[in-house]
């Protein structure tokens, strides 16, 4: 397992993506899966940057783990911001036309649809959000 602790700012999304991509390349991660994980990082780390500590900033830790059977990447986001479970929000109704949908929730919906597993827990004063992508 490798981890990076970094200030949770929008400016650091690229650094987090680079860190995760370096681990994925060592695993010979397929390009499609790597792209889907990059989109998930943008959404999830972006949400931490925008909302976890607002209006202040704080740190977040990103962990990358590999599983062998079946091959998978597990990325965990940990922050000490206000408790928030993004999985508790109902999925947007994608059958409605865009102008009739409520604002928000589409990014998390996309992450849920492209990852093979996603979980959240609040423990010891920390938000712990985990995504898993089978390779």
CATH code at position 38: 3.30.565.10
Band (109; pLDDT cuts 50, 70, 90): confident
Domain tally for the chain? 1
Structure confidence by residue, pLDDT tens digits, 88-101: 876 555 555 656 55
Q: What is the pLDDT of residue 99?
A: 60
Q: Comparing 22-26, 35-39, 84-88, 93-97, which segment has the lowest mean pLDDT?
A: 93-97
Pairing of β 2-7 and β 72-79: unpaired
Mean pLDDT of 99-119: 78
What's the gap between Cα 85 and its chain centre?
12
Q: What is the pLDDT of residue 103?
A: 57
**What are phi and psi for residue 98, nearest 5 degrees?**
-50, -40
**Residue range of the domain that includes 31:** 2-134
């Amino acid at each position: 397992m490798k981890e990076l602790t970094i200030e949770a700012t929008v400016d650091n999304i690229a650094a987090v993506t680079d860190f995760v991509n370096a681990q994925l390349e060592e695993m010979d991660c397929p390009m499609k899966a790597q792209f889907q994980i990059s989109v998930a990082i943008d959404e999830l780390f972006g949400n931490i940057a925008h909302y976890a500590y607002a209006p202040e900033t704080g740190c977040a830790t990103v962990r990358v783990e590999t599983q062998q059977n079946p091959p998978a990447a597990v990325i965990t986001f940990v922050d000490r911001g206000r408790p928030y479970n993004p999985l508790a929000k109902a999925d947007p109704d994608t059958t409605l036309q865009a102008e009739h949908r409520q604002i928000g929730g589409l990014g998390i919906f996309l992450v849920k649809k492209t990852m093979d597993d996603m979980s959240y827990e609040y423990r010891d004063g920390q938000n712990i959000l985990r995504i898993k992508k089978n390779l």
